[in-house]
């Protein structure tokens, strides 16, 4: 159970990271990075950030790039939250593939929902009744 303070800090970090990624991805056409969720540890030292990336085919490549530039992202974040937080938490980025999972489930349900041919009753089964 997160305390109210942890929830507020998580929302603050999520909002500011979303703005940072929006500005960075505006330079690259066709890529969208959004912050799905942020979980801050109780001692405020680590923030686990889940990123949703479109197109999802480039997800691993973009996460690798973001992790390589984690120091720069953390510095930009610390400049934005310097009046709200004393120390900026260490950032750990993870790929949020829940949208891909939902899409896969929808495809399976749609395939299962296709109309099936009505089965003809067997002559033997009809004769037994």
* Model pLDDT for residues 15-72, shown as the tens digit of each residue: 999 999 998 888 877 788 889 999 999 999 999 999 998 888 888 888 999 999 999 9
Listed in sequence order, the residues at least 6 apart from 9 whose beta carbon sits closer than 8 Å to its beta carbon are 40, 44, 85
User: Whole domain around residue 34: which residue ranges?
Assistant: 4-113
Is the pLDDT score of 123 beyond 60? no
In a domain, 68, yes or no: yes
| Contact present, 33 and 51 (Cβ < 8 Å) | yes
What is the value of pTM for the model shown? 0.74
* CATH code at position 24: 3.30.300.20
In a domain, 126, yes or no: no
In a domain, 129, yes or no: no
In a domain, 106, yes or no: yes
In a domain, 38, yes or no: yes
In this predicted model, which residue has the larger pLDDT, 91 or 99?
91
* Number of domains observed in the structure of the chain: 1
In a domain, 75, yes or no: yes
In terms of Cα–Cα distance, which of 47, 51, 19 is closest to 34? Answer: 51
At residue 49, the pLDDT reads 94
In a domain, 127, yes or no: no
For 3-23, the pLDDT digits (tens) are: 899 999 999 999 999 999 998
CA angle 30, 32, 34 (to 5 degrees): 180
At residue 90, the pLDDT reads 94
Task: Tell me how far apart the 2 most distant CA atoms of the chain are, in Å.
Answer: 84
In a domain, 96, yes or no: yes
């Amino acid at each position: 159970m997160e305390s109210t303070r942890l929830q507020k800090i998580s929302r603050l970090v999520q909002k500011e990271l979303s703005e940072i990624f929006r500005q960075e991805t505006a330079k690259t056409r066709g890529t969208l990075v959004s912050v799905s969720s942020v979980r801050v540890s109780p001692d405020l030292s680590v923030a686990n950030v889940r990123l949703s990336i479109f197109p999802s085919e480039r997800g691993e490549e973009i996460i690798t790039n973001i992790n390589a530039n984690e120091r720069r992202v953390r510095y930009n974040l610390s400049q934005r939250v310097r009046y709200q937080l004393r120390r900026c938490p260490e950032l750990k980025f993870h790929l949020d593939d829940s949208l891909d999972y939902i899409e896969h489930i929808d495809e399976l349900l749609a395939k299962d929902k296709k109309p099936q041919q009505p089965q003809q009753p067997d002559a033997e089964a009809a004769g037994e009744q």
